[in-house]
Amino acid sequence: MDHLISPSILNADLGNLEKVVLMINNSQADWIHLDIMDGVFVPNISFGFPVIEYVKKISEKPLDVHLMIVDPDRYLSRFSDAGANILTVQYEACSHLHRTVTEIRNLGMRASVALNPHTPVSLLKNLLPYIDMVLIMTVNPGFGGQHFIEESYNKIEELRNMIEKGAYNVLIEVDGGVDTSNGAKLIKSGVNVLVAGNSIFGSADPTGAILKLKNLK
């Protein structure tokens, strides 16, 4: 499959959110990435249900929602109701991860698990049959604009080998410091979905920046 682009609106001008979403609608982006932060799991607070619901009303793209919050199980059905199509929970935040991803799927969403930079992919070996995607964090979560962690390539290749060995239908997504300088190498390493924020919304031409990422080989 061709790789997908999921622009992260955390880095966008939220004061002009409608304009941002309409731009993504008219671009070559595939999803819209929304980072939900509670100020506890990560040292930052972003946005919640009203923003997701608003984006859902005007978006023509699936909503790719990443929960960086403690005890996400409390809110799974609420995120489904708000319009999430793909819901990612952090491995480090879930005590009973199999139960969590099963409930996400039962609610009609695609289930995804994110790993922080220090968390080894081997911990997902027995969970791959039950999920649809793994999000590899290529920076420490919490803030946009950080530098890409180079060790991530080895981690991605290890995960890709695990997925292919088991013939699992699991996508690999990456988030953190993604741009045209490393996107092609990430794709060659086995990545299916590129999340990009600063490299898109820090550009004078966000639509063009999305197109450049989409055209990477």
**Calpha distance 17→23 (Å, rounded):** 10
pLDDT at 108: 98
For residue 164, count other CB atoms closer than 10 A to its CB.
Answer: 11
**Tokens 């180079």 belong to residue:** 150
The two structure tokens encoding residue 61: 């793209």
Q: How many residues does the chain have?
A: 217
**Calpha distance 61→25 (Å, rounded):** 7
Count Cβ neighbours within 10 Å for each residue of 90-127 and write b for 16 or more, e otherwise. bbbbbeebeebbebbeebebbbbbbbbeebebeebeeb
For residue 214, count other CB atoms closer than 10 A to its CB.
Answer: 17
DSSP letters spanning 79-106: HHHHT-SEEEEEGGG-SSHHHHHHHHHH
Residue from 30, 64, 175, 179 carrying the catalytic annotation? 175
Residue from 30, 35, 132, 179 carrying the catalytic annotation? 35
**Which residues in the chain land under pLDDT 50?**
none
CB-based contact 127:102 (threshold 8 Å): no
Is 2 one of the annotated active-site residues of the chain? no
CB-based contact 48:26 (threshold 8 Å): no
The amino acid at 175: D
Is 132 one of the annotated active-site residues of the chain? no
**Calpha distance 7→208 (Å, rounded):** 12
All structural domains of the chain with their residue ranges: 4-214
Q: Which pTM value belongs to this model?
A: 0.96
**Calpha distance 19→27 (Å, rounded):** 12
The two structure tokens encoding residue 96: 């009973």
- Domain spanning 4-214, CATH architecture: Alpha-Beta Barrel (3.20)
